[in-house]
Amino acid sequence: MPFNIGQRAKWYKYYSEKFGVSEDRLKREFEKELSGGTEIDDPLEIPDKMEIIFKYSYGEQSRFFRELRENKRIMGAKCVKCGQVYCPPRGDCHLCYEPTEWVELSGKGTIVSHTVQYVTASALVRKTPFICCYVQLDGADTLLMTNLEMDDVEKCQKGMRVVAHFRHDRHGDINDFYFKVAK
């Protein structure tokens, strides 16, 4: 039997206060369920909140992130057989299936492709608009997807030379560095 209007209002208020979600959002998601728009054997959906704290391993790429955090260095991985240099690094070459070894890269490169983002849902982006681009680092054979910071985003062009800058506070993640146009 569906909830009457008063029961639904009480239900929305309870979950709104419990999870800090607006009653309007709850109504959009659950009105069909609460007003009798589902069959008794349909899956019952209720609001819930999940917070997970876990330990994540970078595995074979760990040195790449430690070098960013501790030494302000960008490392690539070079295949011991064919010489292909990967950045971001990988433990094994996908061309000849041989292991790779660490090589330091200069942090200088060229924009291969880019897009200007005017909206973001990411907490990692510091301001909008921003530029998301693929950079071919000098000495690397692969592209690195990264952010470019520049005042006038409309001036960004394919082929521009860029250089890596390291953040003052580094945490061992891909956002420890970003790129600016080379001078």
**Per-residue pLDDT, 119:** 85
For 8, residues 6+ apart whose C-beta sits below 8 A from its C-beta are 31, 34, 35
**Per-residue pLDDT, 120:** 80
Three-class SS state of 154: helix
* Domain spans in the chain, listed from the N-terminal domain onward: 1-54, 59-181
**Per-residue pLDDT, 147:** 92
pLDDT single digits (tens) 60-73:
999 999 999 999 99
Q: What percent of the chain has pLDDT over 70?
A: 99
pLDDT single digits (tens) 20-53:
999 999 999 999 999 999 988 888 888 888 888 8
**Per-residue pLDDT, 17:** 93
**Per-residue pLDDT, 164:** 98
pLDDT single digits (tens) 63-121:
999 999 999 999 999 999 999 999 999 999 999 999 999 999 999 999 999 999 988 87
pLDDT single digits (tens) 122-161:
766 777 888 999 999 999 999 999 999 999 999 999 999 9
Average pLDDT value for residue range 10-18: 93
**Per-residue pLDDT, 52:** 87
DSSP 13-55: HHHHHHHT--HHHHHHHHHHHHTT-S-TTSPP-----------
Three-class SS state of 161: strand
**Per-residue pLDDT, 123:** 67
Q: Can you give the C-alpha Rg of the chain in angstroms? A: 24
